[in-house]
Amino acid sequence: SSVVISGVGLWTPAHSISNEELVASYNAWAEQYNAQNAIAIEQGELEAKPLSSASFIEKASGIKSRYVYAKEGALDIDRMRPMLPTRSDDEVSHQAEMAIAAANKALAAANKTPADIDMVIVSCAYTQRSYPAIAIEVQSALGIEGFGFDMLVACSAATFGLQRAVDAVKAGTAKGVLVINPELTSAQVNYMDRDSHFIFGDVATATVVECSDTCQSEHAFDVLSSKCVTAYSNNIRSNFGYLTRVTDEDPYGADKLFHQNGRKVFKEVCPMAADHIESHLNSEGIQVSQLKRWWLHQANINMNLLISKRLLGRDASLEEAPVVLDEYANTASAGSIIAFAKYHDDLQPGDIGVICSFGAGYSIGSLILKKR
């Protein structure tokens, strides 16, 4: 018997923001800022805020729009961040709600019920609190017996979570695992930063991992192997955390939100990811040319083109390396799983594909899958 991914679920928020809407809001905010600070800017004490452009965003990143969990507030130039209502301790939390929606879809796709699951991993770039774990809240809401925990690995949270799940099923620690990625990134986006205001969107994905002996799914994939690697870098960073209260820093400071050195990330991560995929495939005796599908991390279209070109010696077609970031933007760890969710059921038995994430940490995670 083998370990399989037997179902995947994708929950998409109801609201979206186009590049044009986002840029109109940012530019109105920047113009207001520049007018209000005209004297300080003229005297060289402050820098004027530069304007953003929808055509730059699409060309530099491939992103055309993004979904958001809450639209209210994000485009309001007197607020520039989404507005979420506070929920009481007795209500389901925002992130658990997203997670439950994706988990139910994954269970349905795998032909499973909560009784078939005994381990829940909520794995994403941020959790809205430290405890009780979002995973335990989800476990309780779904009526799952067993255990759950949260884990954070930024953009590679989904692949690293899947590796934990695969290992748990292999070891007999769990019979069925739900790995859920409720990415509520909009809360950490700096909508006042031209260089990053366009990058992220919200979404939730979930996958069911189990033993092939119990699998009842038409679209299951054997996990041939998984490989994770990390290498420390400050080029993508957020300093928000529980110590913010006691260091007396501004909790809204720009360094507390997502920020990056995008050019450096691009240059450093592309070769790392390409080498990682190649060496992972080679360790399984698989040639790059045998890959039917690349479910790549969705941060930047040019990154994905470069990575696949480096390995294939030509551009990958959209069928080989599907793109979802045009519609979803970068959804942290969920990107490669969205691509997998939307583009897997046409593969034939024996077809091989790779899920690969790359991002903050740096962190890279890959799983080689074979259609059953």
Residues that bind ligand CO8 (CB under 6 A): 52-53, 56-57, 60-61, 125, 154-155, 185, 188-189, 194-195, 198, 200, 236, 258, 260, 262-263, 265-266, 299-300, 303, 330, 332, 359-360
C-alpha pair distances (Å), 94 with each of 87, 91, 151: 8, 9, 17
Residue with tokens 């695969």: 166
Q: At what angle do helices 134-142 and 94-110 cross, to 10 degrees?
A: 50
Tokens matching residue 246: 């006691």
- Please report how close the Cβ of residue 362 comes to ligand CO8 at its closest, in angstroms: 8
The residue type found at 329 is A
Cβ proximity to ligand CO8: between 29 and 200 the closer is 200
- Please report how close the Cβ of residue 252 comes to ligand CO8 at its closest, in angstroms: 15
Catalytic residue among 124, 155, 270, 356: 155
Q: Which DSSP string do the residues of 239-272 spell out, in sequence order?
A: --STTHHHHT--TT-GGGS-EE-HHHHHHHHHHH
Cβ proximity to ligand CO8: between 102 and 224 the closer is 102
- Please report how close the Cβ of residue 331 comes to ligand CO8 at its closest, in angstroms: 9
Cis peptide before 328 (omega within 30 of 0): no
C-alpha pair distances (Å), 91 with each of 55, 84, 86, 88, 97: 42, 14, 10, 5, 10
Q: Is 58 helix (H, G, I), strand (E, B) or coil?
A: helix
Cβ proximity to ligand CO8: between 330 and 336 the closer is 330
DSSP E strand stretches across the chain: 3-11, 15-18, 65-68, 119-124, 147-152, 176-183, 203-211, 221-230, 236-237, 259-260, 291-296, 352-359, 363-371
CA–CA distance, 293 with 316 (Å, rounded to integer)? 10
- Please report how close the Cβ of residue 136 comes to ligand CO8 at its closest, in angstroms: 23
Do 96 and 144 form a contact (C-beta atoms < 8 A)?
Answer: no
- Please report how close the Cβ of residue 186 comes to ligand CO8 at its closest, in angstroms: 8
- Please report how close the Cβ of residue 333 comes to ligand CO8 at its closest, in angstroms: 8
CA–CA distance, 66 with 327 (Å, rounded to integer)? 6
Annotated active-site residue 155? The verdict is yes
Q: Is 371 helix (H, G, I), strand (E, B) or coil?
A: strand
Q: Return the active site residues.
A: 155
